[in-house]
Structure 1
Amino acid sequence: MKNFIIIFLSFSYFSTYSQQSTPKLLVSVVVDQMKYEYVDRFWNEFGEKGIKKLVNEGIFCRNTHYNYIPTYTGPGHASIFTGTTPSVHGIIGNNWYSRKDFSPVYCAGDWASQTICLCKKPHEKTNPGSGQMSPISLLCNTVGDQLKIKDSLSKVFGVSIKDRGAILSTGALADGAYWLNYNAKWITSSFYRNNLPEWVVKFHKNHTVESYMNNSWKGTNFEYDLNKIFLETGPSSIKASPKGNNYTLDFSKELIKNENLGIDHHTDFLVISFSSTDYVGHKYGPDAEEVKSMYLNLDQQIADLIEFLESHCGSKEFIISLTADHGAGTSTGEIEKKRLKGGNFISREIFPELNSQLELKFGVPNILARYSNMQFYINHQKIDSFNISKIEVFEEARNWLKKQSSVDEVYSIKTLANAMWSLKINSLINGIYPERSGDIFLTLKPGYIEWATKTGTTHGTHYNYDSHVPLFFYGFNIRPKQIYRNVKIIDIAPTLSILLKSAFPNACTGNPIGEVFKNKN
């Protein structure tokens, strides 16, 4: 009887929701490198109309985690919007190597596409192929793809400083994706269109990078002359400042207005990925005042976005979702200062040293061909020609790597298949696509990051500091609630699909967050 009541109530929530109309516009915000803890850490200094508004008037999932390794930008955006892991969608990192010839592969790269920009020559030295991009490496559909299949008049766009943030989040059927080139100009590729729309041309005339970088960026203990930085390092310097997010938001608002998003009953979908938080996070580390300043600025930018959407679409006629593509580890300098466990794993030193050890053992140089994403690629043709066993190579590599103070464990596909279930094992398996991944996989001990300096930070592991991210839903038919149960990042896509009344992405392995559709407090 109890089970029947639960099933009936769950059905009632979804049925009640399904009787409502869809929002005019769904805006999915991804904040690059936003750690979950930032919401509470900076709470007292946030305004009332930004992140606090999302918390107080929306749904806040406090226990949202990535369920794969490695936690990087490309896989993050792909997983959020396909509802599955790299083991299915194939985006195993920002970069990887071809298993045929060990040539580098970029997650959004596409040599068949051409740069569409304002430059006189698409591939002049100031813009070397930065528009040769598309979602060709993404192996399954996104939320946006399913929306377009359902209603071809719905519009789907992506905007991000980083190409992968705009492209992998929106999929193959998107009406457009825009990102910055090396001169901080908004560009796209011939995968989407053959020329820039006139409104983009006007945007560049009315919103020069220099106009954003004409003042200073100040904190209690820092001050940067942005105009001086701009003059010394060029337009791309906007990316690593709060102004990069302003530039992204202003472009997104112009896109909404000029592409007529959110004005009729054909629900539109826009992904805005704020990348500047990641550039600043990498440079200074999560405990730096500069990072705090970035999130106080982000809070104002979210407030600006909400106010704009209320004016453009009508109050609560839209939905905003907000999450992050990964978190970040504590800087090694901070770890040492606080006498915590952790440190650096410097792959550029480990890789040649391990190859030397294998040569000492087997008498053959360069048995390992490449390293990427905490994975080593074995040169199978070479070891086969010398009649060296792959198992022997793995065992020797594992024994040597395990002696490194930063390394937790080392695996192969075979040892993973036979390992006892754990969160770590499951995360590793979820992150492997055998036709693209390496042969030897390692995990780091808690507190260790793949980074060469004591300042700044990176990400990539399965630990909470990298995997735990905030998740909000705000707007149309959303009632305030905080959810404390575990939510996986792959649960976002089916939730968005229900909000859009479209099919789940075709390879989705996540589950919808049922509490989002409950219309009563």
Structure 2
Amino acid sequence: MKKTYLLFTALCCLCTVTLAQKKTKSTGTYPATIDRPKLVIGLVVDQMRWDYLYRYYDRYSNGGFKRLINDGFSAENTFIPYTPTYTAVGHSSIYTGSVPAITGIVGNDWYDPQLRRNVYCTEDTSVVSVGSTTRAGMMSPKNLLSSTITDELRLATNFKGKVVGISLKDRGSILPAGHTPNGAYWYDGQTGDWITSTYYMSQLPAWVQDYNKLKMANKYYEQNWNTLYPIESYTQSTADNKDYEGKTRGEATPTFPHPLKLYAGKNYDMIRSTPYGNTITLDLAKVAIKAEDLGQDNITDFLAVSCSSTDYIGHQYGPNSIEAEDTYLRLDKDLEDFFNYLDKTVGKGNYLLFLSADHGAAHVPGFMKENKLPGGVVDDKAIVTGLNTYLESKFKIKKPVLLAMNNQLIFNHDNPDFKQIDFTAMKSASIEYLRTLEGFADAVDLARISESTLTAVQKQMITNGYNARRSGDVYFILQPNWFDGGKTGTTHGAWNPYDAHIPLVFMGWNVKPGKTNQTHHMTDIAATIAAMLHIQMPSGCVGEPITELTHQ
């Protein structure tokens, strides 16, 4: 009985202490405001395979990628949850936390059956260029059907928090910046200037105009492009002269040094296909931080930056080229300089930064063949020609297939003969035909995905990528490392890990060093930022917060 009394007394004391603690909290120990960073920076490195974080690790400086990996939190197994894996889709999914089925961004372009033509992801004929007389500025986010995390930050701060998007590619700037930014800027390769559209403003800000006057492309063209270090030290790459690497105009071979001087004042677009394209992008980002006073008050701002030159270089030379290795070594130094600038202007610990990619890339088929690995190319146009011949014979109908794009067949539904045929039977016949072709693994009727015998991963990724209004009729899956292409360079777009496994590293405000090997998805990025900032998720978000980071 005495023991029971003592236990009861102890419990009462514990409850009293707990209540006292709660009472103390209620009288003023709770924070007066929600803690948020002064600035969020989203860095998307176009076509960055996950393994690039570690492939060149020994050659990175301490302040660039190494700082990210060692001072940041890395979600090591982050995957794209849809297919096809393209630039516009990746950027929109990172910032919406959603998938093409919901965002409507099903590719860099797609066929619109209502308009009866191909549609570019950010095209908008109702606006005009600002900062240029070309058509390069006739762009806006109108085709994006969901809000973005940048939009949600604007809403959460009653539009006081600033949002700015910057990228060489219009889609790399417009889609991350969302519908409500203070500005989105991209590069006009015809003029060498950074531009925008009347969707955002009627005149370029003075700081952009001043930067354009410098014509930075010419400055870097004068340096040519040689390797940053002695070329014999690039042991993580193949030999310099390979016939499966693409040559630049004016070159006899695709080898270093690449002569850029001949483009000065003549071809401003060529800067995209050099590491200097990343340099001027991050340089403009620093100018934007200063000119727009980003991160200079207690209302959180957001800077969305996409480094696109990695994609252009990857497409031309491939992942195993000396050009790719040199590009990442140079980007590493650019990142170190950018991080140091953030430390100086915003303050270490005052900004939250994440780095990810919109997609990866396959190895060049020529490289694969050289090393006795499977891979190859198909020709979409030849596929359509052959399939039409087969279907015309079988169903007595003229050219039923319009085109193949985004790994999909689009049929000509305006053909009056369609009313006389069994369309489901025609799709089944098309699928059987595709299965006989070299390099093809399978195909599926997009209207009947659930009935297919595809693996769960493939089925889910195709379903997430299917938008009833903007997608095609039949989806085809190629064998690993096969893609539509030519004799040189590489591309991306498949469900496979080389295209879908992307880096994701957070660094800075409220981030403790660490990593997780649990599986996460690209769509979790926006959900995680929303959780950390205590704001609403984007309107189409299907991702989940990365709790290994948010619960630190």
TM above 0.5, yes or no, is yes
How far 1:218 sits from its partner (Å)?
1.6
Per-residue deviation, 1:342: 1.5
Q: Is 1:77 aligned to 2:91, yes or no?
A: yes
Partner of 1:340: 373
Q: Which deviates more, 353-362 or 293-302?
A: 353-362
Per-residue deviation, 1:379: 1.4
Which residue does the alignment assign to 1:326? 359
Cα separation, partners in 2 of 1:487 and 1:505, compared to 1, 3 Å? same
2:47 to 33, 36, 39: 33
1:278 aligns with 2:278: no
Instruction: Map 1:29-68 onto structure 2 (within 5 A).
Output: 29-68=43-82
Deviation at 1:376, TM superposition (A): 1.1
Following TM superposition, by how much is the alpha carbon of 1:517 offset from its aligned partner in structure 2, in angstroms? 2.1
Q: Would you say the 8 A contact 2:43–2:354 is kept in 1?
A: yes
Verify: 1:409 aligned to 2:428, yes or no: no
**Among residues 128, 131, 134, which one is paired with 2:137 in the alignment?**
131
- In structure 2, relative to structure 1, the CA distance for the partners of 1:361 and 1:83 (3 Å cut) is same
Bigger mean CA offset, 416-425 vs 80-89: 416-425
The equivalent residue for 1:255 is 288
Q: Residue in 2 aligned with 1:496?
A: 529
Q: Distance in 2 between matches of 1:130 and 1:76?
A: 21
- List alignment gaps of at least 5 residues for structure 1: 1-15
Find the residue that maps to 1:485 and give its secondary structure.
Answer: strand
The 8 Å contact of residues 29 and 323 in structure 1, kept in 2 or not, is answered as: yes
| Aligned equivalents of 1:263, 1:498: Cα separation in 2 | 22
For the Cα contact (< 8 Å) 1:383–1:389, is it kept in 2? no
Structure 2 CA distance, aligned partners of 1:74 and 1:18?
Answer: 40
- 1-side partners of 2:450 and 2:279: how far apart? 46
> Is there any run of 5+ residues in structure 2 with no aligned partner, and where?
1-29, 232-239, 241-254
Separation in 1, partners of 2:257, 2:287: 29
Counterpart in the other structure of 1:161: 168
1:354-373 to 2 correspondence within 5 Å?
Answer: 354-373=387-406
Aligned-partner residue type, residue 197 of structure 2: S
Give the aligned partner of residue 349 of structure 1. Answer: 382
Structure 1 residue 415, shift from structure 2 partner = 3.1
Asked if 2 retains the 8 angstrom alpha-carbon contact of 1:359 and 1:366, the reply is: yes
TM-score by length of 1: 0.92
Mapped to 2, the partners of 1:21 and 1:381 lie a distance apart of: 56
Pick the aligned partner of 1:298 from 331, 340, 356: 331
How far 1:463 sits from its partner (Å)?
A: 0.3
1:316 aligns with 2:349: yes
Partner of 1:215 in structure 2?
223
Q: Aligned to 1:142, which of 134, 144, 148?
A: 148
Aligned to 2:124: 110
SS of alignment partner, residue 438 of structure 1: coil
C-alpha separation in 2, matches of 1:84 and 1:248: 26
1:17/1:518 contact within 8 Å kept = no
Check whether the contact 1:216–1:223 (CA below 8 A) recurs between aligned residues: no
Aligned equivalents of 1:144, 1:79: Cα separation in 2: 12
Rounded Cα–Cα distance in structure 1 between residues aligned with 2:375 and 2:151: 42
More deviation, 286-295/177-186: 177-186
**Matched residues in 2 for 1:115 and 1:165: separation?**
17
Write the distance in 2 (CA, Å) between the matches of 1:385 and 1:470: 46
How far the C-alpha of 1:207 sits from its partner, in A, is 4.5
Moved more, 379-388 or 288-297: 379-388
1:319-342 per-position Cα deviation (integer Å, ceiling 9, x unaligned)? 110000000001011110111112
- Which residue in the other structure is 2:179 paired with? 172
Deviation at 1:348, TM superposition (A): 2.2
Q: Percent identity?
A: 35
Whole-Å Cα distance in 1 between the matches of residues 413 and 145 of structure 2? 26
Please tell me whether the aligned partners of residues 84 and 493 of structure 2 are also in contact (alpha carbons under 8 angstroms): yes
Higher mean C-alpha displacement, 310-319 vs 493-502? 493-502
Please name the residue that 2:27 is paired with: none
Instruction: String of CA shifts for 1:11-39, please: whole Å, max 9, x gaps.
Output: xxxxx999862111010000000000111
Task: Tell me which amino acid in the other structure corresponds to 2:465.
Answer: G
Distance of 1:511 and 1:293 partners within structure 2 = 36
The answer (yes or no) to whether the contact 1:26–1:270 under 8 Å persists in 2 is: yes
Matches of 1:113 and 1:224 in 2, distance apart? 41
Q: What residue is the counterpart of 1:427 in the other structure?
A: 461
How far, CA to CA, are the matches of 2:32 and 2:472 in structure 1? 44
* Shift of residue 233, structure 1, vs aligned partner: 5.9
CA contact (8 A) 2:189 2:267 kept: no
CA-to-aligned-CA distance 1:415-471 (integer Å, 9 cap, x gap) = 312235610000000000010101111111112122121x21000001000000110
Normalised to the residue count of structure 2, the TM-score between the two structures is 0.87
Counterpart among 415, 423, 427 of residue 382 in structure 1? 415
Instruction: Between 167-176 and 22-31, report the one with greater CA deviation.
Output: 167-176
> What is aligned with 1:440?
474
Offset at residue 170 of structure 1 (A): 1.6
Which structure has the bigger radius of gyration? Answer: 2
2:202 corresponds, among 194, 199, 208, to 194
> Distance between the aligned counterparts of 2:121 and 2:87, measured in 1?
10
Question: 1: distance between equivalents of 2:444 and 2:266?
Answer: 43
Match of 2:516 in 1: 483
- Aligned residue type for 2:146: C
Contact 2:446 2:472 in 1 (8 A): no
Alignment partner of 2:203: what SS? Answer: coil
Q: Given residue 145 of structure 2, which amino acid in structure 1 is its aligned partner?
A: L
